[in-house]
Chains A and B, each alone.
Chain A
Amino acid sequence: MKRDAPLKNYAQKLGLLVLLLGLWEGLSRLGIWSPYLFPGPVTVSKSLWSMAADGRLLDATLRSLGRLGRAYLVSVAIGVPLGLLMARLAFFRNAVKPVVMGLQALPSICWLPLALLWFGLTDTSILFVVVMGSVLGIAIATEDSVQGVDPQLLRVASTLGVRGLRFQFGVLLPAALPGIVTGLKLGWSFAWRALLAGELLFVSGGLGQLLTVGRELMDVPQVMAVMVAIILIGITVDRVFFQTVEGRLRRRWGLEGAM
């Protein structure tokens, strides 16, 4: 990717954004649809601002992210070792991997009814859904990247006499790390989706509930404002955290230049 003229790049992005916002505002002002059902960006941003000002947005965001963080940690703690086992042990590869692949085909929200029956209307239910939504993807990506380690490195480790834990943590894990981080990023976006789907369905105090409340009050600006907030949070985590980590890793590993 060329890195020249970043200014021009940003100008193009900004231009398109302004154009889309203008189009949206224009459409809403034409009055084809009721302004209650199709508010313009100005109304939406006012609603966003008011939610931010009285702390509702921050409260809901913190609650959602807290939940996500806990569930995600559990997913990583289970998913990465599970992936490593699937890549390294014949039993896990032959017996466990097909099960993981099969369960991965199930959309995560389908776990919710089961979770509600098992855990009731609690946080645990949502955590369960989020974990089920992301742990399998992380495990599969980890397994994939360990399998894809350059065989040359394995041979050189063998001839250098690198064995045991030094091999597992000194060669195999770092060699697979760029792939694992890509898997973690994917897992995070799965978890984010599963979380909001779960939060929509019952009183949870998170961003999902804020959406539901907006719908119940027929407050379309609030619904749209929360949607915008969700998009912004998603982009921020992806850009600020994962892109940085992934980019640094790939540069250090010499896989490519700038991302």
Chain B
Amino acid sequence: MLRALLGRWRSSLRLLRPAHVEADHAKISVTQLGHRYGNKVVALQDVDLNVRSGELVCLLGPSGCGKSTLLYALAGHVQPTGGTVSIDGQRISGPGPDRLLMFQEAALFPWLTVRGNITFALAARGVPRSERKERADQYIRRVQLQGFEETLPHQLSGGMKMRASLARALAVDPTVLLMDEPFGSLDAQTRIHMQELLQSIWMRTHKTIVFVTHDVHEALMLGTRVVLMAPRPGRIVRDLEVHLPMPRHPEDAALTEMVRHVQGLLREVERNTLPEVMPPRAAAPAASSPPLPASGLPRPAR
């Protein structure tokens, strides 16, 4: 009995291996990122993160760990008070067409139909008029919304709205897709459907996705990598690669076991007893960095 448990524990450890990504192989490279809101709350401190092209990275952590702030910094909607974010070696300084942010709400334009929402976004990205409709319909099919092209957002259910929003995001074809708890407001059943849909889309396109969630199961279901964050100050405490083949099933035994393991880690994070095992930067000059004034958008209201 005990041995069986131990065996499973080991197997979940084997499936979750620490990730080490060199900065020069990375699509997204975050170095020494720090952010303070109103010069007081330390939302992020000394965050280093390298994301390879085609990875689906889940940022996981309790509230206040700065996972959303990190995502908004990647999007360029937050100007961090310290450190740099680079995409393909280019340092970013604001929102750009290579990145797209998706929110917890579907945020469709209510006066446009499902197709209209997508063609409008395509028009803003300079896609020629003749291609817009076809491309919109292609992505509507991909999220299984065919038959609802001419439907207005308020006539759709929550899950369908989210699918339309996902279609819009994918149609625009950003090199990096940033998702801020996009399924957080859906009911459990719809949520699983959306996760399976996102998983199948990712398997087909291998888009680079950074996905913020506080749901351990969701992180392990979707992520090729799970980055565990801790609050006060917001920082990364574990960076794990998930070696579980896709497509994953929500009730998979190994998945469940990993969920239990990561939940244990999270509990320790909350009790602040988790030993730091992140590769320590040689005497990081964190304390000496001057407190720059905070700027950029505040965290959006929920």
Q: Give residues in A with beta carbon < 8 Å to B.
A: 151-153, 155-156, 158-163, 166, 170-171, 174-175, 177, 252-254
A245 to chain B, nearest CB (A): 14
A29 to B111, CA, bound (A): 56
Q: How far is the CA of A8 from the CA of B155 in the complex (A)?
A: 30
Q: Is B181 an interface residue (CB 8 A)?
A: no
**B 94-115 binary contact with A (CB < 8 Å = 1; else 0):** 0101011101010101110000
Question: A160 with B152: in contact, given A151-B300, A155-B107 (CB under 8 Å)?
Answer: no
Instruction: Name the A residues within 8 Å of B172 (CB-CB).
Output: 160
**A162 and B95 within 8 A (CB):** no
> From residue B158, how far is it (CB to closest CB) to chain A in Å?
13
* Residue numbers in A under 8 Å from B101 (CB-CB): 155, 159
B100 close to A160 (CB less than 8 A): yes
A-B contact pairs, 21 of them (CB 8 A): A152-B105, A153-B107, A155-B77, A155-B103, A156-B107, A159-B101, A160-B125, A160-B168, A161-B95, A162-B120, A162-B121, A162-B124, A163-B124, A170-B120, A175-B109, A175-B111, A252-B152, A253-B110, A253-B154, A254-B153, A254-B155
B168 / chain A contacts, CB cutoff of 8 Å: 160
- Return chain A residues, CB-CB under 8 Å to B121: 160, 162
Give chain A residues whose Cβ lies under 8 Å from the Cβ of B110.
253-254
Closest to B126 in A: A161
Instruction: Count contacts between A and B, CB distance < 8 Å.
Output: 57
Are A253 and B111 in touch, CB under 8 angstroms?
yes
**Does the CB pair B95–A158 fall under 8 Å?**
yes
Q: Once the chains bind, are B75 and A159 in contact (CB under 8 Å)?
A: yes
| Bound CA span A161–B122, Å | 10
B292 within 8 A of A: no
What residues make up the interface of B, taking CB atoms closer than 8 Å to A? 75, 77, 95, 97, 99-101, 103, 105, 107, 109-111, 120-121, 123-125, 152-155, 168, 172, 300-301
Besides A160-B100, A160-B168, A175-B111, 13 other A-B contacts (C-beta < 8 A) = A152-B105, A155-B77, A158-B95, A159-B77, A159-B95, A160-B121, A161-B125, A166-B123, A171-B109, A174-B109, A177-B111, A252-B111, A252-B152
Tell me the bound Cα distance from A156 to B102 in angstroms.
Answer: 8
> Contact check: which of B77, B123, B153 meets A158 at CB < 8 Å?
B77
Please name all residues of chain B whose beta carbon is closer than 8 Å to the beta carbon of A152 when the two chains form the complex.
103, 105, 107, 300
CB-CB under 8 A from B125, the residues of chain A are: 160-161
Residues of B near A174 (CB, < 8 A) are 109, 111
In the complex, residue of chain A having the shortest beta-carbon distance to the beta carbon of B155: A254
Query: How distant is the Cα of A121 from the Cα of B75 in the complex, in angstroms?
Result: 63
B301 cross-chain contacts in A, Cβ below 8 A = 151
Residues of B within 8 A of A177 (CB): 111
* A171 proximity list for chain B (CB < 8 A): 109
Q: Judging by beta carbons under 8 Å apart, are B124 and A254 in contact?
A: no
Selected from A155, A166, A175, A252, the residue in CB contact (under 8 A) with B124 is A166
Contact A161 B97 (CB under 8 A): yes
Residues in A neighbouring B95, C-beta threshold 8 A? 158-159, 161
Q: Is B77's CB under 8 angstroms from A160's CB? A: no
Shortest C-beta distance, B176 to chain A (Å), equals 12
Rounded to whole Å, the gap between the CB of A248 and the closest CB of chain B is 11
B150 to A: closest C-beta gap in Å? 12
| In-complex Cβ contact of A254 among B75, B152, B300 (8 A) | B152
A153 touches B155 (CB 8 A): no
Q: Which residue of B lies closest to A257 (CB)?
A: B154
Of B77, B125, B154, most A-chain CB atoms within 10 Å = B154
By a CB distance below 8 angstroms, the chain B residues around A151 are: 300-301
Q: Which residues of A sit under 8 angstroms from B155, Cβ to Cβ?
A: 254
Residue of A nearest to B75 (CB): A159
Top 10 closest pairs, chain A to chain B, by CB: A254-B154, A156-B107, A159-B101, A162-B124, A160-B121, A174-B111, A152-B107, A253-B110, A254-B110, A161-B97
Which B residues are in CB contact (< 8 Å) with A161? Answer: 95, 97, 124-125
- CA–CA, A252 and B168, complex, Å: 20
Report the bound CA distance from A159 to B177 in whole Å: 11
Q: How far is the CB of A216 from chain B (nearest CB, A)?
A: 52
Of all chain B residues, which has the CB nearest A163? B124
Report Cα–Cα, A175/B105, bound state, in Å. Answer: 16
* Residues in B neighbouring A159, C-beta threshold 8 A: 75, 77, 95, 99-101
Q: Contact at B124–A160, with CB atoms within 8 Å?
A: yes
Q: How far is the CA of A187 from the CA of B138 in the complex (A)?
A: 45
Which A residues touch B154, using CB under 8 A? Answer: 253-254
A254 to B112 alpha-carbon distance, docked (Å):
11
Give bound CA distance, A160 to B125, whole Å: 8
Q: Give complex CA distance A158, B105 in Å.
A: 15
Interfacial chain B residues near A158, Cβ < 8 Å: 77, 95
Q: Is the CB of A155 within 8 A of B109?
A: no
Who on chain A is nearest to B120 by CB? A170
Complexed CA–CA distance, A254 and B153 (Å): 8
Select from chain B the residue with minimum beta-carbon distance to A249: B111
